[in-house]
Every structure is written in C-alpha cells, then in structure tokens.
Structure 1
Amino acid sequence: MTANKDKKPNTVLRRLRKEVRHQTREEFARSMAEAARDLGLNCACNWRYVAHLEDGTIRMPGAAYRRVLERTTGQPFSSLGWGPDSESGRIAHVSDPAVEVELLVRVDHPSAEDGDDHVLRREFVQASMATMGLTTAAGATPHPTVGRRIGPSTVQQLVQRTARLRQLDNFLGGSETYDLYMAELNAGTAMVRTAGYDEATGRALVSLVAEQAQQAGWAAFDAGRHDEAAKLYGMSLSAAREAGDNSLAGNALAYSAYQLASTDRSGVEMAAAACETAGRDAPRSAQALLFERLAWACAANGQASGAERALAMANAALDRPDDQPQPDWSVWVDRDEIQIMTGRCWAELHRPLRAVPVLEDVLRKFDDNHARDKALYLTWLADAYACAGEIEQAAVTIAHTLDLSTGVGSVRPRQRAVTVLKQLTPHRALPLVAAAFERLTD
C-alpha cells in the first residue's frame, strides 16, 4: 500500500459503499475482514483504513487488499476507482513487497499532520494480533527500547538475543519455551508499533518479528497447539514478505508444510512453494533446510522419487560455494541433519534396508542431552526395525525413546512412540515388547 500526500478522493468506492451497499465505514471494514478470512489472507481492516481508501491517503492498496476489495464488492478491482493513471496510462504505482503494508512500519516519528496515520498503524497491528488470537497469548515484557527511536545497532542486538533464545530449543520442548517465545514476539510487535526508525531499520525490525513468530509457531507445534502454530506461521509469512526477506518467507511456508505433513495432510505443494519463494540466491544452509523439508513432505505423502530428488538437492545446496552470511535459523543444518532426514524419509516410505544403516550411524553420535530430538528420531529407527521384522530391537528402541522423552515438554516423541507400539501389539507376548508397553503405561 502506498500513501499519497496529494490526496485524490476515491468517490467510486465511497459511492459504492454508501449508495449501493448502504454500509457505514465500520460495517464495510467488517465485510472486508470477513472476505480476508474467506481468502485465507492476513489483512486487518477497520473504519480508519476504509476512510484512508476513500479520502485518497492510500493511493493504491496492496495486492492482498485488492483481492479482499474484489471479494467484498463483487467487482473487478479496475472498476473500484483505481483506474489507469491519466498521465502515464499505467496502473498507479504499487509499493514493493517490503513495504506493501506501510501502516505497519513508521519510517519516522509522526508529525502533527500525520498523527492519524500513526494511530491507524497502531490499530492495524493490534487488529492483526487480535485476529490471530495472539494479543494475550503470553504476558509480554516490553523491551526497554519500546516507544523510543531506534537504529540498526538496536535491531542487531535483538537479532543476537533471538539467536541465543533459539538455543533453548535444543534442550527444552515447546511447552517449556512457548510462553517465552510469545513474550519476545509480543515485545517485537510492540516495538514495531511504537518505536521510531528509518525505513531500513523498519524492514529489519519487521524481519525480526517474522523470525520471532516462527520460533513461537514452532514451540506451539511442538506442544501440540496446532491452531496457534498455523496462525503464527501465517503471521510470520506476512511479516517476512513485508520485509522483503524471501528466505525467511520460504521458511515460514516450509514450517507450514512440515505441520501439514505431520498431521496426515499433504504439504508437498506448500513445501515446493517454500523452495521457490526462497529462490536460488538464498543462503545455502537455508536452501538445504527447505529442500530437506520438501523431502519429508514427499515421503509423508508416499512420493519416494520426489523425496530422493529433494534430498539430493539438499546435499547439493550444502556443497555450493556461498560467501554470504548464513542465517542463524538455518546455519545448524549440516550433513548429520541431512542424514537424519534421509533415514526418516526412508523409514516413512517403509524402506528399512535404506533407513536402518543411516539412522543407526548418525544416532550413535547424537548426544542424549538433546533428549527431545533424539527421542523423536529414535522412533523412526524403531519403525524401520519393525518394518524389517526386527520386533525386539524395535521394542528396545522405543523403550529408549520413552526414557529420553520423560519430562520433556514436547508431545511429539510420545505420540510417535504410541504409533510404533501399535504395530508391535501382535507381539506383546514377547518380554521386550511387553516391557515397552509397560514403560509407556508408567
């Protein structure tokens, strides 16, 4: 969306709202919000936004809002008062994706003349958070810089803080980290809403919010809070697109695809879209991460050839020379991670002869201190053992999984253990299998 100092009122939209639809601005805004939900778009609308559309403050709404307006009115966008520019013969200028929702980012302190815009931006963010049910999800502790003017060094400090907090996920489950990550996200969005900054700093800050939303979404997913995770991933995608961060936008899509694949729905198309969104210029570790998630989506959907191709591309990405800085959210991806995903994919595809050697080798080196992850990965090794007819070995491995996952704030290892144990039910007479079932009950 772009704002225009030389306002040209949109009398077409105003007449359509008042004389055809007989709606107040508030009623029209509610209709737009309903249309956005129907389209699956994160667009928050209120009467002030409608006022700015009609009085010409907003010269051209962003792409998502154009779709919402078409759905709301039942008219093509070209007939809603935003026709070809009379001088150039072209459609009026549309801002680039990094600032498509300009109300979210104030590039300077509001003056007396643009005070209403500042209020509108604040209401927009609040409405976005309320729409996604995030406003009171956790008690945010405002960062000391909230409400002040900030520069690049402040954002960099916050990026480093976010990286440090991400390390908690190596040792704790989502139930234990969710409130903390949500508090960080709420503080980040408060800073976007109240701090002053230039355009470049604003983009970096919105990108940080996208990253924080991914952290919180992952914790929600790990804790079994799937509806909240989906909303947070959607919020992250919108923020990453506003910031012009294609790699981070791709990662938001990949998270969503991973969630779909983990809940018995196909995430293949979304995972492929994640790779395409990030593009060929993405950092190599980010590319490797997105390709391995595509491999998992393919495996979960029974597409062996697709999984194999994606794994090959993940390995190739790691081989690619790349001098650019690797983002903290993907820098951890290495050969061992790709090997783990390779074993998981083959186990999911019921190819134990391929899965077992890979998983045995890499998990032998995996530290038990990373209890959640190791417990989870062991379930695929147990699954592969069961598929190969090694019932007792599968039972021993599941018992180890249950030992490791005790006290870990994640629902996933135990859920996976139950799934594997169901396969062993016909063999409960075997002492090791009976012991694994007893361990589950304990």
Structure 2
Amino acid sequence: MTSSTVTSSQPPRPPRPNLAFRRLRGRRSPAEFAAEVRRAAREIGEQVSCDARYIGRVEAGEIRCPNYAYERVFLHLFPGRTLTDLGFAPRSSVRGRAARTTPRASPARSASPAREEDEARGEHPPGAARDPYAWHHDYEESDVLRRAFMTGGGVTVAAASLGPLALAPGALAAQRSVPRAGASEAGALEEAVRRIRLLDDRHGADGLYRRAAAPLRAAYALLDAGATRQATADRLHSGAGELAISVGWLAHDSGRFDDARSHYAEALATARVAGDAGLEAHAFCNTAFLARDAGRPREAVRTAQAAQRIARPLGSARLMSLLALREAGGWAGLADRTGCAQALARARALFERGACDADPEWMTFYGEAELAGLEAQCWSTLGDWSRAARHARRAAHLQDPHFTRNIALYTAELADDLARGGRPDEAAQAGLGVLALLHQVQSSRIHTMLAGTARVLLPHRRASGVSDFLEKHAALPRAG
C-alpha cells in the first residue's frame, strides 16, 4: 500500500447542485431514498444499482442527466414530472454537437487527468470523441466501466460491471507495470464495491467469494501505482479498503473466518495509512462481528468499543447504533445478560434518532429489519428463545424484498428459535420458507443454521409439517 507523489493540476469546474432533486428526497436519508428508487425500478421491471453515493452524486450535480433506465424509474417514482422538473439538464443539451460528428475513439485511448475527471462527471470537453448514445450515461454504465476497471497500459483490472461477477481468471497482469490511476479507475473501483454488495444482498456469499479476489488484487495494484491527483488517491484508498471489507464479508459469511480476518486487517491498515476514520470504523465493525461468530466474544466487545470511539466524531447515530449492536453480540457471547441488554437499549435509542446525511454509504442494509435481526441473535445466544423468535419474525416481516439473503437469514433464525423453544410445527413452517429461497441464496451461514434446526426437530417428526421439512432438507445437495 505504498503511495506515490501526487501531481497537481487545474481543478475542474464545480458542478451545479441539483436542489430540486434534493427537495424531493425530503427528510429521508440518501440510503433510504436509494432503496425507494430500487423499489420503484422493480415495479416497472428495471434494474438499477442505486445507492446512497449515487443519490449524493445526483444532488451534487455530478450527474447532469441520468441514463435511460434511471430516467424511466425517476419518472415512475415522480409521476407527472419531467427530467427538468427533477433538476436534470435536458438530454439534448448534454450530448454535445461535437460528439455527434466526431468518430468514436478507441477504448484504449490515452486520456488526461482533467479529461478523466470530466468523463467521470458526464461532462466532456468540446471535441471529445465519444459515442453520442453512450457518454451521457452516468459513470456507473459508461464504456470505461463496462469493459473493466481499465484496460490498457499493461494492466487489465477485473470487470466492474460484475454482471454477474464475470471475472476472468487472468484479470490482473501482475508481471506488467501498472500506470498511474485516474478518476476512471477510481470510479470503477467504487462501482465494483457496489455491485458485490448488491449481489451479496440478493444471493449470499458462497458463489461470490473466490470470484471477487481478482478485483481486490487489482485495486491494491492501482493503489501501489499511485494516482494523478490527491483526490483520486483518496478515493482509491477508500475504495480499496471498502472492497477489502466486502471481500472479507464474503469470506466471513461463507465460513472462511481466517480469510475474513486477513481481509478485514488489510482494510484496517489501509484506513490508517489514509487517515480515514470512517473506513477504520467500518473495518472494526466487521472485525467485531467476525470475532463474535468465531467464538471470541471478549474480542468482539473490545473491538466494537474501539469502533465506537473512532466513529463518535463522524456524526452518524445509525452507525453508532450498529456498533452498539456489535458490542451487544459480544456481551451475549460472554453470557452477560445485563451488558447485552444495556448495549441493545443504547442501539435502539441511537437508531430512533433517525437517518442523516452522515450515515455511511455501506450502511444501506441497516434498517429496522436488521436491528430486529441482530437483537434476535443476541437473545438466541442468551437462550431466550421466545424473545429471539419474536424479533426474528419481525425482522423477516420488515425486510426489503431486495435483500433476499437477509430474508432467508432472518427466517432461518426464526425457525431455529422456534425449534429450540418447543414449537416444532411453527419451526418447520419457517424452515420450509427458507428452503424455498435457497435457489436464489448461497450462504454457508444459512445452511449451517438449517442443519442445526433439523437436528433439533428430529425427535418431533410426527409434528405437523416437520417430516416434510426434514425430507426436503435432507434432499439438499451437499457441498463437495
């Protein structure tokens, strides 16, 4: 993680903030608003990887005109309004006359840092040679990102489109020299993080982990090569650290605890090199969760407390709430009911302060459902099965349908709590609900939970639905 001297250059002109779009968001956080955009997309059969960062870029004016998919979603979400009403520039004004008359450039063309920054914003300088029907798309769907992080100059970085995470085994030409990174590479790295998280939300970790290693190696190769600007260097550090955490989580959720610990430590080191308190808090947050799952509850408590000290100045009550839940999980593992209950109460009080603009982008998963799900895990660890089942049921009911993996997780938690609490028929019904989702979700954590539930239910074969659940569970293909 060496860093190179960053050269200075003329800063690009600042974009004009999109105040109309900001007003439409109202009191919702960027993450909450992004979830609404995704729901609206599903209603009309579109697929957009909208998250808090995308909403921030729109509001900052960096996206002057959305691509056609986002346009359809926004007009569905706000019926009766035009793109201009939403604060966007007319599509005709952002295509540019020069782009319509100039032949398209080769994908491997050389670009200056200033030009890369313009392209990242969707604003091309006069005479820029681009496809008139491609360049006005926001950077998430630009040609640069569809081909790879970047192809050329001796390095091919794993495809940022990850659709679905189609990474070539030879994605990183490790023996060749890596050029200095610019805004295009930084943007592609950030997009890779988003795509991995979205795929994990829907499908779980097992099918993703090994295929996500290539972009992580490539990210650190870019980091070692240095950047053309300090702002780009900062984005690369943050993006590489977040990608390390995302890949660490895939290892974590698929039961590869040693690999996960290594990735989280890598992210923590990146955060400290860059002086990035938000990234450091995120790395500690996941490390605490891993410590709990790996049977090191005291480490979980200490790490979660360290994360809270780091995160306090960041101004996000929701982040502090999640970190209090990480601490509660450690206390539960230590069988300290009082410590756990106090941490849970603190987490709930912080959560109820609401979302704010300071909430990190990666926390889009953390809502009422996740809060209830983590509470359920704490009470389950303490052996309070009825309370655990109540929270797990609430979590599954509240979860956004986008998070298929979490719905399966919460329902598996519910099934196990009901089985251990002496309600085998209800447990079997919940277990069958999880089995119905396994064609979409691959998670070792969920399979392990179901196996435990099946063992608890074996003596209750004659209870309603139990034999059906046990037979279908037994028929699941086993990992070879």
TM-score by length of 2: 0.58
The yes-or-no answer on 1:171 pairing with 2:69 is no
Query: 1:126-162 CA distances to partner (integer Å, 9 max, x unpaired)?
Result: xxxxxxxxxxx9643579xx94444567635643452
- CA distance in 2: counterparts of 1:196 and 1:434, whole angstroms: 60
What does 1:30-429 align with in structure 2 at a 5 Å threshold?
Answer: 104-108=2-6, 139-141=170-172, 147-150=178-181, 155-156=186-187, 158-266=189-297, 267-320=300-353, 324-366=357-399, 370-406=403-439, 408-429=441-462
Contact 1:176 1:409 in 2 (8 A): yes
Superposed displacement of residue 177, structure 1: 2.0
Higher helix share: 1
3-state DSSP class of the match of 1:183?
Answer: helix
Query: Structure 1 residues 201 and 185 mapped into 2: Cα distance closer, same or farther (>3 Å)?
Result: same
Amino acid at match of 1:277: I
RMSD: 2.9
Q: If you compute each CA radius of gyration, which structure gives the higher value, 1 or 2?
A: 1
- CA distance in 2: counterparts of 1:142 and 1:165, whole angstroms: 22
Superposed displacement of residue 238, structure 1: 0.6
Contact 1:371 1:405 in 2 (8 A): no
3-state DSSP class of the match of 1:176?
Answer: coil
Q: How many residues in Structure 1 have an aligned counterpart in Structure 2?
A: 311
What does 1:8-23 align with in structure 2 at a 5 Å threshold?
Answer: none
- CA distance in 1: counterparts of 2:315 and 2:173, whole angstroms: 32
Superposed displacement of residue 251, structure 1: 1.8
- CA distance in 2: counterparts of 1:323 and 1:370, whole angstroms: 22
- CA distance in 1: counterparts of 2:280 and 2:317, whole angstroms: 15
Q: Percent identity?
A: 29
Superposed displacement of residue 290, structure 1: 1.8
- CA distance in 2: counterparts of 1:280 and 1:311, whole angstroms: 21
The aligned residue for residue 466 of structure 2 is 433
3-state DSSP class of the match of 2:207?
Answer: helix
Superposed displacement of residue 404, structure 1: 1.8
Amino acid at match of 1:413: I
Amino acid at match of 2:467: A
Contact 1:348 1:380 in 2 (8 A): no
3-state DSSP class of the match of 1:409?
Answer: coil
- CA distance in 2: counterparts of 1:327 and 1:139, whole angstroms: 33
The aligned residue for residue 69 of structure 1 is none
3-state DSSP class of the match of 2:260?
Answer: helix
Contact 2:368 2:398 in 1 (8 A): no
Superposed displacement of residue 360, structure 1: 2.2
Amino acid at match of 1:315: R
Contact 1:214 1:233 in 2 (8 A): yes
Query: Structure 1 residues 402 and 331 mapped into 2: Cα distance closer, same or farther (>3 Å)?
Result: closer
Amino acid at match of 1:400: G
3-state DSSP class of the match of 2:255?
Answer: coil
Which moved further from structure 2: 384-393 or 275-284?
Answer: 275-284
Query: Structure 1 residues 188 and 302 mapped into 2: Cα distance closer, same or farther (>3 Å)?
Result: same
Superposed displacement of residue 334, structure 1: 1.8
Segments of 5+ residues of structure 2 without an aligned counterpart are 8-167, 476-480
- CA distance in 2: counterparts of 1:177 and 1:282, whole angstroms: 33
TM-score by length of 1: 0.63
- CA distance in 1: counterparts of 2:453 and 2:359, whole angstroms: 37
Query: Structure 1 residues 369 and 106 mapped into 2: Cα distance closer, same or farther (>3 Å)?
Result: closer
Contact 2:204 2:441 in 1 (8 A): yes
Superposed displacement of residue 369, structure 1: 6.0
- CA distance in 2: counterparts of 1:108 and 1:161, whole angstroms: 24
Query: Structure 1 residues 367 and 253 mapped into 2: Cα distance closer, same or farther (>3 Å)?
Result: closer
Query: Structure 1 residues 283 and 140 mapped into 2: Cα distance closer, same or farther (>3 Å)?
Result: farther
Contact 2:318 2:354 in 1 (8 A): no
Query: 1:324-364 CA distances to partner (integer Å, 9 max, x unpaired)?
Result: 44321113322222122222322332223323333323322
Contact 1:236 1:252 in 2 (8 A): yes
Superposed displacement of residue 308, structure 1: 2.2
Query: Structure 1 residues 368 and 400 mapped into 2: Cα distance closer, same or farther (>3 Å)?
Result: farther
Query: Structure 1 residues 196 and 380 mapped into 2: Cα distance closer, same or farther (>3 Å)?
Result: closer
The aligned residue for residue 13 of structure 2 is none
Query: 1:77-102 CA distances to partner (integer Å, 9 max, x unpaired)?
Result: xxxxxxxxxxxxxxxxxxxxxxxxxx
Amino acid at match of 1:244: G
Amino acid at match of 2:198: Q
Query: Structure 1 residues 173 and 306 mapped into 2: Cα distance closer, same or farther (>3 Å)?
Result: same
